[in-house]
Amino acid sequence: MKILVTGSNGLLGQKLLKLLTDRGETVIATAPTSNRVNYLDKEFDFHVLDITDEDQVNQVLERVQPDVVINTAAMTNVDQCETDQELCRKLNVDSVSYLSKACGKLGAFLIHLSTDFIFDGNDGPYAEEDQPNPISFYGQSKLDAEEIVRSSEADWAIVRTVLVYGITPGMSRSNIILWVKGSLESGKKLNIVDDQWRTPTLAEDLAMGCYLIAQKKAQGIYNISGSEMLTPFDMAMLTCDHFGLDKSLISKVDGSTFSQPAKRPPKTGFVLNKARRVLGYAPTPFAEGIQILDEQAQQLAQ
């Protein structure tokens, strides 16, 4: 199978490149800047691709003729999406229109990444058929993109996920585990929210979910996340347990403590019955995910 991955320099993109090359698939990696994934021992092709440029999208996809396109590229900083709505729209909506049209022309199967933030968080966890109601511009942009994919001529799958965590070389963004560990090891006190619930997702699990869909060309919407409903405070406590950190440095607060441009849904998280049944998807428990991240961090430090 020839699989093209957008956003290949990102956390999920890098995890997909490793998984797909390890499985012997033909991989085309794309990103808007030069390739940053130079540590894999397996070969893959790389193309510079700005997915907000429709001509580039058409040219690259016509050149490589992929069987499957996995679109991981997006603007995911929720507050930045609120304050720069024009850029958010270009990256999260317009680009998806270009990709879905190109996939429709070429007969490529499109796997598009979406988010729990399409929901208002009033009655999570959510199943695939539950009614979206975004409360932020980011959430609305991702819902608009879903609607473009669903109405396109391409065969498609939408992968909704939640709070992805993991580690790779040259990470551009941190995550709650690394943030808590680094802060507490330097003696910093933290205020951490305990009134928002999520099902945090190990990046390797999300990559595997995408691969299982690609293998089966399983059409439709799939929830791919962790299975445990946790608050950020819960996640911080589990991080402290693993690394032996000082829990007394952490104070439990509610979301109103922080002034942020974008609203956060209070309780999302996903029901995973469909992914388990159709794909054989099996999420990693959060405590095991911390262990995996820790082992990988130690390898990177060597």
pLDDT digits (tens, 9 = 90+) for 187-233: 999 999 999 999 999 999 999 999 999 999 999 999 999 999 999 99
**Residue at 128 is within a domain:** yes
- Name the burial class of residue 268, with classes exposed (0-12), middle (13-18) and buried (19+) by CB atoms within 10 angstroms of its CB: buried
Span 116-130, average pLDDT: 98
Q: How many CA atoms does the CB half-sphere of 6 hold within 13 Å?
A: 28
226-257 pLDDT tens trace: 999 999 999 999 999 999 999 999 999 998 88
SS3 of the chain: the string is CEEEEECCCCHHHHHHHHHHHHCCCEEEEEECCCCCCCCCCCCCEEEECCCCCHHHHHHHHHHHCCCEEEECCCCCCHHHHHHCHHHHHHHHHHHHHHHHHHHHHHCCEEEEEEEHHHCCCCCCCECCCCCCCCCCHHHHHHHHHHHHHHCCCCCEEEEEECCEECCCCCCCCCCHHHHHHHHHHCCCCEEEECCCEECCEEHHHHHHHHHHHHHHCCCEEEECCCCCCECHHHHHHHHHHHHCCCHHHEEEECHHHCCCCCCCCCECCECCHHHHHHHCCCCCCHHHHHHHHHHHHHHHHC
Of the given ranges (44-48, 166-170, 177-181, 279-283), which has the lowest mean pLDDT?
Answer: 166-170
The partner residues of 110 in beta bridges, in order of sequence, read 69, 156
**Residue at 207 is within a domain:** yes
- Of 25, 211, 12, 27, nearest in space to 114 by CA: 12
Q: How many domains does the chain have?
A: 1
Q: Which pLDDT belongs to residue 171? A: 79
| Amino acid type, 85 | Q
**Residue at 108 is within a domain:** yes
**Residue at 134 is within a domain:** yes
Asked if residue 10 lies in contact with residue 73, where contact means CB atoms within 8 angstroms, the answer is yes
Residue carrying the six token digits 């019955």: 273
Percentage, residues of the chain above pLDDT 70: 100
What span, in angstroms and rounded, lies between the C-alpha atoms of 137 and 133?
Answer: 11
Q: Which pLDDT belongs to residue 176? A: 93
- Domain ranges, residue 46: 2-167+201-227+269-284
Q: Dihedral angle at the C-alpha atoms of 238, 241, 243, 249, nearest 10 degrees?
A: 90
What span, in angstroms and rounded, lies between the C-alpha atoms of 53 and 60?
Answer: 11
**Residue at 62 is within a domain:** yes
Asked whether the whole model's pTM tops 0.85, one would answer yes
Q: What is the DSSP letter of 285?
A: P
CATH number, position 61: 3.40.50.720
**Residue at 279 is within a domain:** yes
**Residue at 256 is within a domain:** no
